Amino acid sequence: MSTHSDTAVRLVRNATVLVTLDETTFLVDPLFASRGELPPIPDTPNDRKNPLVSMPDIELFYDAVVVTHRHPDHFDEAAKEALEADIPLFCQPEEVDAFTDEGFTDVRSVDDKAEFDDITIHRKPGRHGHGQLAEEMGPVYGFVFEGNEMLYLAGDTIWYDEVERTLDQFEPDMIVLNGGQARFNHGDPITMGVDDIAAVRDATDATVVVVHMEAINHCLLTRDELRSETENVHVPEDGEQVIL
């Protein structure tokens, strides 16, 4: 089904991306709702309805689905309706039952790692914010896709020691970060901002791609702001592909 043999990531919208390695393509964190179909994330600095933008006009070819966590901006009702029930779906162990209950028949838990085609998927920890707020946001994880090359999709996390440890352990060729500096009316941001992204940039020689921007009401960091305040970071528009 895949269309590219190079290691590549295509941003669809928000955190929805197509990750391709060795001719296998994974659809990550599908958010398929129409523009403005979902309510705003509550207790945030504005009340714009989500998603803020429409889906780009691209064809979605993929061999399997990966969901980092079941927050509604990473897996929504529209995705549940649109995905084939028997698509291989990889997720964290805590969320297997929820997907099974929704009628998916090939749900695969990534405890430590899992295999698909010739790709190994490693599950690595993230931290969805700071302090007590991170606890309230629940468990989040990133995934390292290991083929001929290595791609680290960090998921909804800030920069902290476990992210650095993953970089040291796998030395990825490409990294996908969730930017946007999402936040509530209280507490610190729950996804990466300029300083987090700069810290990743300083810690690795990998190609760094930043997504999760300008699509959800509590993501306040814009693409233009990030581009002006960082160097050597790819900030794709919706529908755009970055090839390693």
The number of domains in the chain is: 1
| Cα 156 to Cα 158: distance, rounded to the nearest angstrom | 7
Q: Are 241 and 10 in contact (CB under 8 A)?
A: yes
Structural domain contains residue 36:
yes
In a domain, 65, yes or no: yes
In a domain, 159, yes or no: yes
The answer to whether residue 216 sits within a structural domain is yes
Question: End-to-end CA distance of the chain, in Å?
Answer: 20
Residues spanned by the domain of 59: 8-243
Cα–Cα distance between 51 and 110 in angstroms, integer? 28
Amino acid 51: pLDDT: 98
Per-residue pLDDT at 244 = 93
1 falls within a domain: no
Q: What is the mean pLDDT of each run of 10 residues along the chain (244 residues)?
A: 70 98 97 97 95 97 97 97 98 97 98 97 96 88 97 98 98 98 94 98 98 98 98 98 96
Residue 2 falls inside a structural domain: no
Q: Quick check: is 3 in a domain? A: no
CA distance 52 to 35: 6
The predicted pLDDT at position 1 comes to: 46
Select from 202, 212, 158 the least CA-distant residue to 9: 212
Local structure of 237: helix, strand or coil: coil
Q: In this structure, what CATH number is given to the domain that contains residue 57?
A: 3.60.15.10
At 28 the pLDDT is 98
For position 166, what pLDDT does the model report? Answer: 98
Question: Quick one: pLDDT at residue 4?
Answer: 44
pLDDT of residue 189: 95
Predicted local distance difference test score (pLDDT) of residue 138: 85
Asked if 68 and 140 touch (Cβ cutoff 8 Å), the reply is yes
Confidence (pLDDT) at 223? 98
Kindly state whether residue 186 falls inside one of the protein's structural domains: yes
